[in-house]
Amino acid sequence: MKFLKFDKGEKIPEFKLVDQNEEEVSLDDFEGKNVLLSFHPLAWTSVCRNQMQELEDNYEEFEKNNTVPLGISVDPVPSKSAWADTLGLENLKLVSDFWPHGEFATKLGIFIKKKGISGRVNILVNDQGEVLWAKEYEVPELPDIDEVLEAVADNA
């Protein structure tokens, strides 16, 4: 399963999505910072929960390395909001790529059309949208947070 069509240094498309607090999120919000786009297939599933919890639990480490993690899936905003409350998230933004359904994931080439979800992918970009590091995982695979943090530190 190889979806990623972006190589290091290539630019991702611009995006304007909405987070669990109904606030618009785009790269323009993170001037001077790197952004980890952490795609997960669906909220309310165990691997996705663990993936988002690890981002929240390591939020300080991301901040130390000038990086903002974002959890992104095709779930609608109300679902993201309820899930964030259930997970007890205080820092991590859960961003919705719901409508048009999976449009951002599709532009990135990581939308699994026959399942209606994105793949499980981490893409680290700078504030100009240039890819610094990216890794795709099998849908049931939990990303190795140590590997992600190493990539973040290497590109800080």
**What domains appear along the chain, each with residue ranges and CATH number?**
17-154 (3.40.30.10)
User: What's the average model confidence in pLDDT over 125-154?
Assistant: 96
User: What's the average model confidence in pLDDT over 96-108?
Assistant: 96
Q: Note the pTM of the prediction, 2 decimals.
A: 0.96
Residue 20 burial (CB < 10 Å; 0-12/13-18/19+)?
buried
Task: Decide if 96 is catalytic.
Answer: no
Listed in sequence order, the DSSP H helices in the chain are: 46-57, 59-64, 77-87, 103-108, 145-154
Place of tokens 């001037």: 31
> Hey, what long-range contacts does 42-45 have (CB within 8 A, 24 or more apart)?
42/73, 42/74, 42/75, 42/117, 43/73, 43/75, 43/79, 43/80, 43/83, 43/94, 44/75, 44/79, 44/83
User: What's the average model confidence in pLDDT over 77-89?
Assistant: 98
- For the cut 70, the answer to whether the pLDDT of residue 87 exceeds it is yes
- For the cut 90, the answer to whether the pLDDT of residue 111 exceeds it is yes
What is the C-alpha radius of gyration for the chain, rounded to an integer number of angstroms? 14
Check residue 101 and give its pLDDT. Answer: 97
Check residue 98 and give its pLDDT. Answer: 97
Check residue 7 and give its pLDDT. Answer: 80
- Catalytic option among 27, 48, 68, 123: 48
